[in-house]
Amino acid sequence: MLDAKIPAGPLAEKWTEYKGHCKLVNPSNKRKLEVIVVGTGLAGASAAASLGELGYQVKAFCFQDSPRRAHSIAAQGGINAAKNYQNDGDSIYRLFYDTIKGGDYRAREANVHRLAEVSGNIIDQCVAQGVPFAREYGGLLSNRSFGGTQVQRTFYAAGQTGQQLLIGAYQALERQVALGTVKMYSRHEMLELVVIDGKARGIIARNLVTGELERHFGHAVLLCTGGYGNVFYLSTNAMGSNVTAAWKAHRNGAYFANPCFTQIHPTCIPVSGDHQSKLTLMSESLRNDGRIWVPAQKNDNRKATDIPENERDYYLERRYPAFGNLVPRDVASRAAKERCDEGYGVGTSKQAVYLDFADAIVRYGKIEMGKDGRNDASKEEIIARGKEVVKEKYGNLFDMYEKITGENPYEVPMRIYPAVHYTMGGLWVDYELQTTIPGLYALGEANFSDHGANRLGASALMQGLADGYFVVPYTLGNNLADEIYNKPVSTDHPAFEAAEKKVQDRINTLMSIQGKQTVESFHKRLGKIIWNECGMARSESGLKQAIADVQALKKEFWSDVKIPGIVNGMNPELDKANRVADFIELGELMCIDALNRNESCGGHFRVEYQTPDGEALRDDANYMYVAAWEFKQEHDWQLHKESLVYDVIKPTQRNYK
């Protein structure tokens, strides 16, 4: 059994207790301690900035040309916080409860409670940094609803909340760069972890411009490298998002937890053809106002606007009257798949459902006209005003939709379909966010800890910033307090030499294959296998087949991949090959994990385990644990369990009806 080192005491007091007793490092010693932060998204930028402010010597790495481009920037809808500004019954407990329930009782209580506790501080911090959140006319912060909750606790900046939060963290980071506490290495990719005497002591990074391999020492290493959704090839992740840094940690001894817990987001723009390189999310915030429906009769080829109200099936409102269109993502995605599989899908591919704003436009138009005392307004006038309101709320999302599809969503309903969006699984961490390798931490989406088997909307931004701003500055200090006696290890140490050689050898091997198939073609094939068998519905036979297929693909990759270009210089194809090679190994582990978990929970839906009305059927007696996998050798992992103890919340079957 794995020990998560959860502090003793009542749940609501654990974090306060911890902070009151954790070890501290005095300012003059902080200056002597070096910390490596890999990744500069919300978790990485906030951690690097906060640690720099504290006085540590920080080195931050990102593969993009600037830390501001990390994929957190693309998060749209918002960030949750238990502020209860709306007086609608919110509290720390309720945010904690919603998150645990949303995660289908597969998250760790102590971590989630801490997350809810610091959620309010995040909003305060961001406002202080100048993040321009949406405000009401009185000048106070505005909120909206997200899935899986019945209160309005989501703070937002139009459909660009992630951008604004990341720019806030990026500016804090650049301030530290200017002050000299953080040294920034952009266009660098971590390709190996250096472990000395059982402790993480540094990394090997490739300078993506020159191709040079560099050795960097750190008293601790923080991986803030995001999720692994690109294992599916098609996802809402950025093209460069990858698992490589986390995978190197895993191969060096860090356990990988719940890899099969992946989130399929219900509202994305559907795939249009084989050329597709990525998918685009349409924010969950749209479900505040949009209504999801399909035609009530199968294979209905009429235009959406020609289908009368009584021939439409608002299936979420029908199946889940209490939460309606705001059920959690896993539930909404499965419901869309079910309708399409049954033949009710729309569009040319029939793999889509409608997200319709017609009602909302009229509703808002009437409100605005009412404010002006215009009770005589014509239908056209109402619609025109309503469109203005919708534009202010979701304008950038509607524009994006129109650019991609060529259709105007103010006039015709959007066509949407579920797509891979987020990964709840990740490196196993204890309460302090430390992995099973001492000195190695994982923050944000890169760890597994807070979202269980399904993440609620607007909680990823919250977790990334909680980890970086408010958790790791304490927990890292608690461990670095014992490091003050340890001088930096020279990068001439044999462990650095060996790690660099390992990377060099792998690159040389990859480049020497000179086969016939491109990296991209392998990635696409991997994605198809994982999407079909380890996507929205999983079965024992399908997963067994997928494991065999992925193993065969790996063999083929290492004997027939074709990588052009040079080693000692810029070579994006080589970078991509390094990432795809790791995705292939991860894909196998995901299937193994999904096969091991003989239950359905959250986003993990095993067709063998469902309730009579098609909901996920958990098996708490046998699977109420975190599955943490230890890498032994190729195709061989050992399962370690962390049992989940619910002291405060009593797990029940999730009910959104």
Encoding tokens for residue 20?
A: 């009151």
Contact with another protein (CB under 8 A) among 31, 83, 363, 374: 83
Cβ count within 10 A of residue 320:
19
User: Rule CB under 8 A: is residue 158 a binding residue for another protein?
Assistant: yes
The residues with which 141 forms a beta bridge, in sequence order, are: 135
Contact with another protein (CB under 8 A) among 154, 160, 447, 479: 160
Q: Tell me how far, at minimum, the Cβ of 577 lies from another protein, in Å.
A: 11
| Closer Cβ to another protein, 127 or 648, answer by number | 127
From the number of C-beta atoms within 10 Å of its C-beta (0-12, 13-18, 19+), residue 619 rates as middle
| Closer Cβ to another protein, 211 or 651, answer by number | 211
User: Rule CB under 8 A: is residue 560 a binding residue for another protein?
Assistant: no
Instruction: Choose one: 103-111, 238-246, 286-294, 455-463; the region binding another protein (CB under 8 A).
Output: 238-246
Q: Pick the catalytic residue from 106, 114, 201, 329.
A: 329
Q: What is the DSSP letter of 277?
A: -
User: Rule CB under 8 A: is residue 74 a binding residue for another protein?
Assistant: yes
User: Rule CB under 8 A: is residue 163 a binding residue for another protein?
Assistant: yes
Instruction: Choose one: 47-55, 255-263, 437-445, 546-554; the region binding another protein (CB under 8 A).
Output: 47-55
- DSSP result, 163-226: HHHHHHHHHHHHHHHHHTSEEEE-SEEEEEEEEETTEEEEEEEEETTT--EEEEE-SEEEE---
| Closer Cβ to another protein, 33 or 466, answer by number | 466
| Closer Cβ to another protein, 207 or 596, answer by number | 207
User: Rule CB under 8 A: is residue 73 a binding residue for another protein?
Assistant: yes
Contact with another protein (CB under 8 A) among 53, 313, 317, 556: 53
Its sign, for the CA torsion 40, 45, 46, 49, is: positive
| Closer Cβ to another protein, 128 or 621, answer by number | 128
Contact with another protein (CB under 8 A) among 89, 139, 494, 612: 139
Size of the site for another protein (CB under 8 A): 83
User: Rule CB under 8 A: is residue 407 a binding residue for another protein?
Assistant: yes
Instruction: Choose one: 156-164, 212-220, 252-260, 456-464; the region binding another protein (CB under 8 A).
Output: 156-164
Contact with another protein (CB under 8 A) among 2, 12, 22, 141: 141
Q: Which residues of 70-92 are buried (b: 16+ CB within 10 A; e: fewer)?
A: bbbbbbbbbbbbbbbbeeeebeb
Looking at residues 310 to 349 of the shown chain, list those that interact with another protein (rule: CB under 8 A).
none
From the number of C-beta atoms within 10 Å of its C-beta (0-12, 13-18, 19+), residue 657 rates as exposed
The interface mask with another protein, positions 115-134, x = CB under 8 A, is -----xx-xxxxxxxx-xxx
H/E stretch holding 356 reads strand 353-356
User: Rule CB under 8 A: is residue 614 a binding residue for another protein?
Assistant: no
H/E stretch holding 502 reads helix 494-513
User: Rule CB under 8 A: is residue 20 a binding residue for another protein?
Assistant: no
User: Rule CB under 8 A: is residue 283 a binding residue for another protein?
Assistant: no
Contact yes or no for 217/489 (Cβ under 8 A): yes
Instruction: Choose one: 143-151, 217-225, 234-242, 383-391; the region binding another protein (CB under 8 A).
Output: 234-242
Residue 329 among the catalytic residues: yes
Q: What is the DSSP letter of 6?
A: P
Q: SS3 breakdown of the chain: % helix, strand, coil, rounded to 5? A: 45, 15, 40
User: Rule CB under 8 A: is residue 165 a binding residue for another protein?
Assistant: no
Tell me how far apart the alpha carbons of residues 390 and 410 are, in angstroms, rounded to a whole number.
9
User: Rule CB under 8 A: is residue 404 a binding residue for another protein?
Assistant: yes
Looking at residues 408 to 467 of the shown chain, list those that interact with another protein (rule: CB under 8 A).
none
CA-to-CA separations, 210 to 339, 508, 571, in angstroms, rounded: 51, 16, 9
605: phi then psi, degrees, rounded to nearest 5: -115, 105
394: phi then psi, degrees, rounded to nearest 5: -130, 15
Contact with another protein (CB under 8 A) among 311, 341, 359, 399: 399
Q: Tell me how far, at minimum, the Cβ of 521 lies from another protein, in Å.
A: 8
What contacts 415, CB < 8 A, 6 or more positions away? 269, 270, 346, 347, 352, 353, 354, 355, 405, 407
Tell me how far apart the alpha carbons of residues 125 and 121 are, in angstroms, rounded to a whole number.
6
The residues with which 420 forms a beta bridge, in sequence order, are: 264
Cβ count within 10 A of residue 562:
15
| Closer Cβ to another protein, 143 or 600, answer by number | 143
Contact with another protein (CB under 8 A) among 565, 611, 638, 653: 565
Contact yes or no for 328/454 (Cβ under 8 A): yes
Tell me how far apart the alpha carbons of residues 358 and 412 are, in angstroms, rounded to a whole number.
8
Contact with another protein (CB under 8 A) among 470, 583, 625, 629: 470
Q: Tell me how far, at minimum, the Cβ of 128 lies from another protein, in Å.
A: 4
- DSSP result, 371-410: HTT-TT--HHHHHHHHHHHHHHHHHHHHHHHHHHHS--TT
What contacts 612, CB < 8 A, 6 or more positions away? none
Encoding tokens for residue 331?
A: 């539930």
| Closer Cβ to another protein, 46 or 436, answer by number | 46
Contact with another protein (CB under 8 A) among 30, 71, 106, 188: 71
Contact with another protein (CB under 8 A) among 370, 515, 572, 614: 572
Looking at residues 170 to 199 of the shown chain, list those that interact with another protein (rule: CB under 8 A).
170-172, 174-175, 177-178, 184, 186
User: Rule CB under 8 A: is residue 649 a binding residue for another protein?
Assistant: no
Q: Tell me how far, at minimum, the Cβ of 150 lies from another protein, in Å.
A: 22
| Closer Cβ to another protein, 521 or 545, answer by number | 521
Contact with another protein (CB under 8 A) among 4, 11, 33, 49: 49
Q: Tell me how far, at minimum, the Cβ of 372 lies from another protein, in Å.
A: 18
The interface mask with another protein, positions 195-224, x = CB under 8 A, is --------------x---------------
Instruction: Choose one: 21-29, 298-306, 402-410, 577-585; the region binding another protein (CB under 8 A).
Output: 402-410
Active site residues: 329
